[in-house]
Amino acid sequence: MTDKQSSSTDGPLEAEESPPRPARRKVSRRRDGSNVSRSTSHNSVSGGGCTSDSGDDSTQDFGALPSLTFCLYGMEVDELSNTEEENAATCPTAPHHVVHVKYLRKLASRGIPDEGSHRAVVWRLLLGYLPPETEAWQARLTEARHFYKTCTADLFADTWDTQHGDALRWRPRRPRRGPIASRSHDDDNNDDHNSDNDNNHNHEEVDDENNSQESSLEDVDVPPPALKPEEEEEEEPSLARPDPVAPEIPETVMEAWKARGKDEHLLLNLMKSYNALRIQEHAKGRKPVAETTNSGEEPQGAASPTAADDDDDPWARAAQDFVDSAVLLDEVRKDVFRTHPDLAFFLDPLDDLGRRRYYALERILFVWATYNKGVRYVQGMNEIVGAIYYVMAKDWKQEWAAEAEADTYYLFSTLLAEMRDVFISDMDDADTGIQGRLAHMQTLLQLHDPEVKEHLDEVGVDVSYYAVRWWTCLASREFLLPDTIRLWDSLFASTHKDNFMRYVCVTMVLTIRDRLLKGDFSTCMKLLQGYPSTQMDHLIESSRALWIYETQINLAIHKGGYTRHMALQTIKPPPALIMAFGFRKGIAPKTRGEILEEAGEKAAERLRDATTMVSTSARTYLGKANGLFNKYMQQRKETSSDSEYDKSQTNGRTSTGSSDGEEVIKFSEDKLKTFEDDMYLAEFATDSS
């Protein structure tokens, strides 16, 4: 990636003054007796990773951010309850409240809490489906949902689930059956009276432990616990739907279907499903009602229904259009029923809800592909729609969750509008096409980890073998659904999603670089096509660190006049950085001259330390020697002149005798010379230090 490309993206926005923190409201008690806070603070967000997008506000210090609910609604809103306010047609918000989108992007880039299910509202705002003005929300939603239902009514013969979306929304599963609930009434009466309290206490602890281990993705209703004889089970609303409408297939349509080489049983199965296509009057071999005469007879000169061989025949064209739609629907259906096959949300056997939710995805994709002829349907779109629909169906507002299908359609349309060139074959070689984006990704990988790039080229792993799916599915097939949703929180908060995805994809390669460098073609393909599990917050933070460090280096080069090596030596890399500019952790090694200069400085420092040590030792030695000599001379003066001393007791002295026995004591000239040399060395060492 060139410096120009990496620095051409939008820069961080300027910081604005933070809004005042709202006053905390009282803690309310839910129906189950547990206390819940009225606030959903951003501090409770899982993970601290922010988006790695250059056009994002995540690099901006906003100071103390408001809570998510206050940012959305202008007030602190609790989790779902049965209050009359939350059953209203509109979402409760403060009067004239306007969502501060910059703060919302900052909060969303850190990850949106699962509690309260406010993520659906945030995604609607981040993708532009809802305006920042909360008073305009309901009008926008009503108009959009009505339009979508009109489209489905024009394309499908049966739209019961579209009109009754409340049946398909996500419902919290009932509590698991604990030890107490599984016991019968008679068993409770036969317990020993002395152990009743202990047993009940233990059972309650087990119940709480079981409930705390439930996953947010396990959405299938669990069979209720065994009821005591006097208890009655609360009635639930029926989620069943009427049998699907199966229109009669005209002969012209069947002939056109067989002409395509298709099996007629496949068409029959398509028309017997919940999403049976509506057959237009032209395709049935007769004029629409609006084009008939007042007497009910067709105008003279009308073409025969059997004239299907003529390309200009309206019945033939209508039949061909219907067949095209049926082929598209079959293609979509094959992919839809492979979407998140392990997710309980799509496996709910109650009233066939799991399969009906799959059919909702099918309608969304079919309507979108029908009204966007310029963009072909591509496998992988089903993964994007499935994740969005799951989030919309878990909206904390039940009335909004019931409209998850229509809202998912508009969110998907908005998202695809930004990346539609990825799915247009004529745009493959453009910068915004799939090949252009892969080329930019390769350039970025070559810049930051040329070793891995060269290794993948050597073993024959082309970037298109693995990265096409990463881009077309927005990495949804590489991670579990919770991790995908966490990644999309930051992606949707980004103002430059293409740049965000590029850095995330490169970081995915850098994360497993050590394993890639040790592998051959088969090993590398398994790692890249079946990406190993990873910590999503760390992945997002690493991609963000990569972009930040690259931006800082480019600014130092272009604005500060630094060379790249000087910039790498000067700027400290972020802690989460994996690789940058070919160096692990972004830490560049020193040049030969710098190494020699550093070695010289270290040698001089060691010499100064050694000199200081020698000087200190010499001064200590001479001090002790002078003290001993002075003490000896003092004792010598006090001794009688005719005393006789043994030479073995006079170290450093010589004794010269005379005929009259007089002993002359003098200090050895050699020893004095040694003392003088030591004193000179000590003074020199002191001056040098």
One domain for residues 429 and 525? yes
pLDDT of 174 higher than 90 = no
* pLDDT value of position 272: 84
In a domain, 558, yes or no: yes
DSSP, res 341: T
In a domain, 148, yes or no: yes
In a domain, 237, yes or no: no
In a domain, 274, yes or no: yes
pLDDT band at 129 (very low <50, low <70, confident <90, very high): very high
One domain for residues 340 and 357? yes
Lowest mean pLDDT among 125-134, 404-413, 422-431, 437-446: 422-431
Q: Which of 370, 402, 422 is the last residue of a domain?
A: 422
Where is pLDDT greater, at 148 or 606?
148
Q: How far is the C-alpha of 342 from the C-alpha of 596, rounded, in Å?
A: 61
Q: How far is the C-alpha of 432 from the C-alpha of 421, rounded, in Å?
A: 6
Q: How far is the C-alpha of 574 from the C-alpha of 48, rounded, in Å?
A: 14
* pLDDT value of position 500: 96
One domain for residues 470 and 518? yes
In a domain, 395, yes or no: yes
Say if residues 494 and 524 touch (Cβ distance below 8 Å): no
Tokens 């009669």, residue located: 248
Which residue segment(s) compose the domain that 156 sits in? 140-166+250-282+318-422
CATH number for the domain that contains residue 336: 1.10.8.270
In a domain, 83, yes or no: no
Pairing verdict, β 579-580 and 583-584: antiparallel
Please give the C-alpha separations between residue 151 and each of 169, 278, 416, 457, 529, in angstroms, as whole numbers. Answer: 21, 11, 19, 48, 37
Averaged confidence pLDDT in the chain? 74
The percentage of the chain sitting over the pLDDT mark of 90, rounded to a whole number, equals 37
Where is pLDDT greater, at 600 or 324?
324
* pLDDT value of position 240: 73
Q: Token digits for 477? A: 């097939």
One domain for residues 465 and 373? no
CA trace torsion 195, 196, 201, 206 (10° rounding): 90
Please give the C-alpha separations between residue 378 and each of 145, 508, 542, in angstroms, as whole numbers. Answer: 25, 23, 30
DSSP, res 344: G
* pLDDT value of position 631: 76
**Any alpha helices (H) in 512-570, and if so which ranges?**
513-518, 521-529, 536-558, 564-570
One domain for residues 555 and 460? yes
Lowest mean pLDDT among 225-229, 538-542, 677-681: 225-229
The percentage of the chain sitting over the pLDDT mark of 70, rounded to a whole number, equals 66
Taking only the tens place, the pLDDT of each residue in 417-435 is 888 888 887 787 788 888 9
What stretch of H or E contains 491? Answer: helix 481-493
Q: DSSP letters of 32-80?
A: TS-EE-S---GGGSS-------TT-STTS---SPPPHHHHHHSS---S-
Looking only at Cα atoms, what is the longest distance across the chain? 173
Q: Token digits for 617? A: 């030792």
Q: How far is the C-alpha of 616 from the C-alpha of 618, rounded, in Å?
A: 6
Distance linking the first and last C-alpha atoms of the chain: 52
> What backbone torsions phi and psi does residue 302 show, to the nearest 5 degrees?
-65, 145
pLDDT of 654 higher than 70 = no
Please give the C-alpha separations between residue 275 and each of 309, 355, 358, 522, 622, in angstroms, as whole numbers. Answer: 29, 11, 11, 41, 106
Residue range 401-421: average pLDDT?
Answer: 92
pLDDT band at 617 (very low <50, low <70, confident <90, very high): confident
One domain for residues 364 and 464? no
One domain for residues 511 and 433? yes
pLDDT of 97 higher than 60 = yes
pLDDT of 554 higher than 60 = yes
Residue range 208-219: average pLDDT?
Answer: 40
What stretch of H or E contains 583? Answer: strand 583-584
pLDDT band at 350 (very low <50, low <70, confident <90, very high): confident
One domain for residues 357 and 467? no
CB atoms within 10 A of CB 389: 27
Total structural domains within the chain: 2
Pairing verdict, β 35-36 and 653-656: unpaired
One domain for residues 384 and 500? no
Taking only the tens place, the pLDDT of each residue in 20-36 is 444 443 333 333 333 33
Q: Which of 387, 422, 457 is the last residue of a domain?
A: 422
pLDDT band at 219 (very low <50, low <70, confident <90, very high): very low
Lowest mean pLDDT among 98-102, 169-173, 297-301, 556-560: 297-301
One domain for residues 503 and 564? yes
CB within 8 Å of 279: residues ≥ 6 apart: 157, 247, 249, 250, 253, 322
* pLDDT value of position 644: 52
Burial class (CB in 10 A: 0-12, 13-18, 19+), 334: exposed
Burial class (CB in 10 A: 0-12, 13-18, 19+), 20: exposed
Residue range 308-312: average pLDDT?
Answer: 49
* pLDDT value of position 650: 52
pLDDT band at 629 (very low <50, low <70, confident <90, very high): confident
Q: Which of 402, 422, 442 is the last residue of a domain?
A: 422
pLDDT band at 610 (very low <50, low <70, confident <90, very high): confident
One domain for residues 530 and 513? yes
Q: How far is the C-alpha of 26 from the C-alpha of 29, rounded, in Å?
A: 10
pLDDT of 436 higher than 50 = yes
In a domain, 599, yes or no: no
pLDDT of 605 higher than 60 = yes
Q: How far is the C-alpha of 2 from the C-alpha of 6, rounded, in Å?
A: 6
Taking only the tens place, the pLDDT of each residue in 65-85 is 778 888 888 877 654 343 444
Where is pLDDT greater, at 448 or 674?
448
**Any alpha helices (H) in 337-401, and if so which ranges?**
353-371, 381-393, 398-401
Where is pLDDT greater, at 369 or 46?
369
One domain for residues 433 and 406? no
Say if residues 117 and 219 touch (Cβ distance below 8 Å): no
CB within 8 Å of 418: residues ≥ 6 apart: 497, 498
pLDDT band at 670 (very low <50, low <70, confident <90, very high): low
| Cα 544 to chain centroid, rounded | 11
